[in-house]
Amino acid sequence: MRILIVEDERKTGAYLRKGLTEAGYIVDWVEDGISGQHQAESEDYDLLILDVMLPGQDGWALLRNLRRTRRTPVMFLTARDDVGDRVKGLELGADDYLAKPLDFVELTARVKSILRRGQPRDSNTLRVSDLELDLTRRKAIRQGDTILLTAKEFALLWLLMRRAGEILPRAIIASQVWDMNFDSDTNVVDSAIRRLRSKVDDAYEPTLIHTVRGMGYVLEVRDSEE
């Protein structure tokens, strides 16, 4: 598995390269947006890890240009508190994002999860059972009904669908969607899940968003409930 890192911050780049190399990946690292695009277009990578602010051209421009010819999965590095950046990356066709400062355990888990998906999706829609999430228009569609979502509901559903089948602890959801710390009050997660369910689950079968007692939430189709 080959990974290209485009990051001008030497410390972060070196840290990523070292960690991912130790995890068994073949890693290339370039430090500006122009070399990044050139490298990504001339070699076959399984994953690109892209910083946003880069010399030459920024990560957004790189991704936009790359998507004309390549569907290589892209993971953005974003500031921890910038939900706007995440949504923008997603709209441009990024597959995931990772908040800086980097947590290496989380990084390798997310890298594995992206690589496990294999060939990236070629549309701007996520689908689980009869629930679709339109990533461009930021709305859900279920059984032909268009469901409008607030920005937070969208971010929450995107997370649940992107990692469908995975039990997500409240603390993870809180940090991914609200950038809250692990010890923050996670009631906000429960109420957001409740609102999301009332929109995408209550009027439909099968139920997709499940509470896993003592652990968190998972979005999946469960056979017993079909």
- Going by C-alpha positions, the residue among 136, 106, 113, 107 that lies closest to residue 123 is 136
- Give min distance, CB of 21 to Ca ion, in A: 21
What token pair was written down for 36?
A: 């990044």
Of 8 and 130, which has the nearer Cβ to Ca ion? 8
Which residues in this chain contact Ca ion in the complex, by CB under 5 A? 8, 51, 53
- Give min distance, CB of 13 to Ca ion, in A: 9
Query: Which residue is closest to Ca ion by CB?
Result: 53
Q: Are 60 and 50 in contact (CB under 8 A)?
A: no
Of 5 and 209, which has the nearer Cβ to Ca ion? 5
Q: Tell me which amino acid residue 134 is.
A: D
- Measure the CA–CA gap between 36 and 217, rounded to whole angstroms: 37
- Give min distance, CB of 7 to Ca ion, in A: 6
As a whole number of Å, the CA-based R_g of the chain is 18
- Measure the CA–CA gap between 115 and 158, rounded to whole angstroms: 18
Of 8 and 82, which has the nearer Cβ to Ca ion? 8
Residue carrying the six token digits 């355990």: 105
- Give min distance, CB of 83 to Ca ion, in A: 19
Region of 215 on the Ramachandran plot (φ > 0 left; ψ -120 to 50 alpha; else beta):
alpha
Of 40 and 133, which has the nearer Cβ to Ca ion? 40
Of 51 and 85, which has the nearer Cβ to Ca ion? 51
Q: What is the dihedral of CA 15, 32, 88, 156, to 10 degrees?
A: -10
- Measure the CA–CA gap between 221 and 142, rounded to whole angstroms: 14
Of 51 and 96, which has the nearer Cβ to Ca ion? 51
- Give min distance, CB of 54 to Ca ion, in A: 6
- Measure the CA–CA gap between 57 and 47, rounded to whole angstroms: 19
- Give min distance, CB of 74 to Ca ion, in A: 16
